[in-house]
Chain A
Amino acid sequence: MKISKLAVAGTLESSDCMVTIEPAKKGIDLELDSVVIRQYGRRIREVAMETLDRLEVKNARVTIVDKGALDCTIKARIECAAARASEFEGRVSWGGTIR
């Protein structure tokens, strides 16, 4: 998935996270700010990187502001932001690349 423009998904409400994705020249640059960074920072990064890898996002700057989101919410917000940033308009292959 090629990131061609800046896009945002999610909110700063409790149990949610706000994900911003924008084009980058080389690799993934992930910045994380979380209310539970000491306890779950590593896990959130892991989920984010796995999700980006599955979506085949190779180059992007990704900023996550987390307010205590579950793994499923982090995945959902990253996928939505990536789809918006890539101007994706086809049918989502639920269970395929979105898993």
Chain B
Amino acid sequence: MSHPDKYRLRRTMMFLNCQKPSLIKDPYVYKPDSIMLDLEDAVAEREKDAARYSLYHALQEIDYRGVERVVRINGLDTDLWREDVRCAVAGGCDSIRIPKTETADDVRTVEYAIAEAEREFRRPVGSVLIMAALESARGVINAMSICDSSERLFGIALSGGDFSRDLQVPISGTGVEFMGARQHMIIAARAAKVQCFDTVWTNLDDMEGFRKEVETIHAMGFDGKSIVNPRQIPVVHEIYTPKQKDIVYAEKVVREIEDKRAKGIGVFTVDGKMIDIAFYDGAKRTIALAKASGVYKGDL
């Protein structure tokens, strides 16, 4: 049976440096769906040990009020990641993010270490979920097998900085350099029935550019976006929350399909648009997203 939180709402994942107590003490006040407690790039090399102690005690003592606690471990090419996994699992994290994932074997290697840690620290085996960050051309090309690699894997995320370096192009701000990767990743994620998350937008002075990018990835089908500043959260949530007219229409579609199905009618119209069973799942998703976003008061 699938983990109950595998498909939870993850519109925003806010990166927080575990080295900074001021950042990890109360991020829930900004109401992100998930926080990404970072042991990797944000932490100075000589402070890796300190970041782990901070992470462990924060996970143990701070009530994050339902916000998902994802821990980004160090890369599999370091001698740090195994201890990161032990620390995160012992602390009680919800999920682990694997950086620089290139193959399905990378995921399975971490999955094995997580299972060992779950047994060591007496957590139910299978309780910690995984997400994989794809940061290279090879990782993106292997997106399909990575998505299929583990029952624990709830999603994949594009990591734009490293990916653009691997492509040997600068980040333009237009998203042109990410077009192929984004399209490929969302198709792979949907084929494997896992979630897909977009990369960070780091220019905090350009909120208009940020909004455009979120609108684009929302239209492409991404489940959410990695974020680096609380100011970005309301923008993403606004764009990802179904509008009232879409909710009303989705309700009509669901009710009409169920009614017409009972009467043996396959194709009909709702508000002048042709509808058949193919629209059912989409309408149900809109209702589910509206419910999860707290804007649906109906009875579906």
Contact = CB atoms under 8 A, between A and B. Distances in A.
A9 B62 CA distance: 21
Interface stretch (A20-28, A32-40, A56-64, A91-99): A91-99
A88 to B, nearest CB: 9
Given A72-B57, A92-B87, A94-B121, A80 B49 contact: yes
A14 B20 CA distance: 9
B3 to A, nearest CB: 22
Interface residues of A, number: 23
A77 B56 contact: no
Interface majority SS (helix, strand, loop, mixed), chain B: helix
Contacts, number: 64
A16 B22 CA distance: 7
A14 B246 CA distance: 45
A82 to B, nearest CB: 10
B89 to A, nearest CB: 8
Contacts of B145: none
B61 interface: yes
B58 interface: yes
A16 B49 CA distance: 16
B20 A72 contact: no
Nearest to A69: B21
A83 interface: yes
Interface in B58-85: 58, 60-62, 83
B254 to A, nearest CB: 46
Given A70-B62, A73-B25, A13 B20 contact: yes
Interface majority SS (helix, strand, loop, mixed), chain A: mixed
A80 B49 CA distance: 7
Q: Interface centre among B22, B52, B91, B121, by most A CB within 10 Å?
A: B22
Given A92-B87, A94-B86, A77 B53 contact: yes
B184 to A, nearest CB: 38
Q: For chain B, give the interface size range.
A: 20 to 34
Given A94-B86, A94-B87, A98-B56, A73 B21 contact: yes
Contacts of B21: 13, 15-16, 69-70, 73, 76
A72 B86 contact: no
A16 B54 CA distance: 10
A71 interface: yes
A92 B54 contact: no
Contact of B50 (A10, A15, A69, A75): A10
A48 B104 CA distance: 44
16 contacts: A13-B21, A69-B21, A70-B21, A70-B62, A72-B54, A72-B61, A75-B57, A76-B54, A76-B57, A76-B58, A77-B50, A83-B53, A84-B49, A95-B90, A95-B121, A98-B56
Interface of A: 9-10, 13-16, 69-73, 75-77, 79-80, 83-84, 91-92, 94-95, 98
List the 7 closest A-B pairs by CB distance, nearest first.
A94-B90, A72-B57, A15-B22, A76-B53, A72-B61, A73-B21, A76-B54
Given A69-B21, A76-B57, 4 more contacts: A73-B58, A80-B49, A92-B83, A94-B86
